[in-house]
Amino acid sequence: MSTIAFIGLGVMGLPMATNLVAAGHRVIGVNRGAVPRDALEQAGGESTVVLAQAVREADVIITMLPDSPDVEGVMLGDGGILAFARKNSLVIDMSSIAPASAIHLSAAAADRGLAIVDAPVSGGESGAIAGKLSIMVGGEPEAFGRAEPYFAALGTTVRHVGPAGAGQTVKAANQLLVAGIIGLVSEALVFLDAYSVDLETAASVLAGGLAGNRILDQKVQGMLAHEFVPGFRLELHHKDLGNLMDAARSAGVTLPVSAVVAQLVGAANARGNGSLDHSALLLELEGLSARTIA
């Protein structure tokens, strides 16, 4: 069993850290807020607000933070992870950040003699709690092999998808698909409502056919009730789609449908819905048709 410094005990990070404790690891959580630190301690972990303290003791350092600047802020510089990590430590960034940032961090870690992988996840809060996340991993095969035992406590679908940055690239594609499907489900609900169709029945029929998808399975009941308790905040999805479009532009790839989806999510975020679940994209599609389904 290993000593793990887990930086970022948010909606996803706290249950992930708790699952690592349950798997028998010593986990030292690093977080500014006291409430998640207390929760981790109640689950058998340890916690601190001092990054250097946790990193110096750790065999493995895991980050689960909101965006590229957050990860770079705790990784780089005199007070960052790379300054305090022991040589040959394993760094696992499970945040969703720009692919270019992941490549930059990989090079910086290699210069310090550290193994690193970018390993963003999909599955939301429910997947994190259940330990059933999908984990897409970029980095050297040897580093991936070292990380696999920890992923086993966090997810059920774990794949090495390529070199540094590849995990983040797959995550960007994942976020495009999820946002696009939420948008299409929202449009379908608005369309069906316009013809006075029973929406619950229609959703169950659609879920059983070729149009079936995880949004219909997991999100549609909340959408119908207009209950958007965040499992994954819309503002974070907006950030992820920004990373997608930046990466596509850098590669010279044209993504016209993605651009429309990104604009819709951006509009929903701009209207003040960023703190809601990403399924609140429904509100934007309702507004465009000047009707409310619930």
Say if strands 90-93 and 115-118 run parallel, antiparallel, or are unpaired: parallel
Cα–Cα distance, 28 to 234 (Å, whole number): 29
Strands (E), the chain: 3-7, 26-30, 46-48, 60-63, 90-93, 115-118, 121-122, 133-139, 155-162
DSSP 279: G
Q: Which of these, 186, 191, 209, 189, lies nearest to 200 by C-alpha position?
A: 189
Contact 237, 250 (CB under 8 A): no
Give the CA distances from residue 115 to residues 56, 74, 143, 159, 259, in Å, rounded to whole numbers and listed in that order: 15, 16, 6, 18, 35
Contact 223, 192 (CB under 8 A): no
User: Quick check: is 87 catalytic?
Assistant: no
Q: Which of these, 37, 139, 26, lies nearest to 90 by C-alpha position?
A: 139
Non-local (6+) Cβ contacts of 140 within 8 A are: 115, 117, 163, 164
Cα–Cα distance, 107 to 98 (Å, whole number): 15
Non-local (6+) Cβ contacts of 224 within 8 A are: 189, 199, 200, 203, 293, 294
Q: Which of 87, 132, 171, 219 is catalytic?
A: 171
Question: What positions carry a catalytic annotation?
Answer: 171
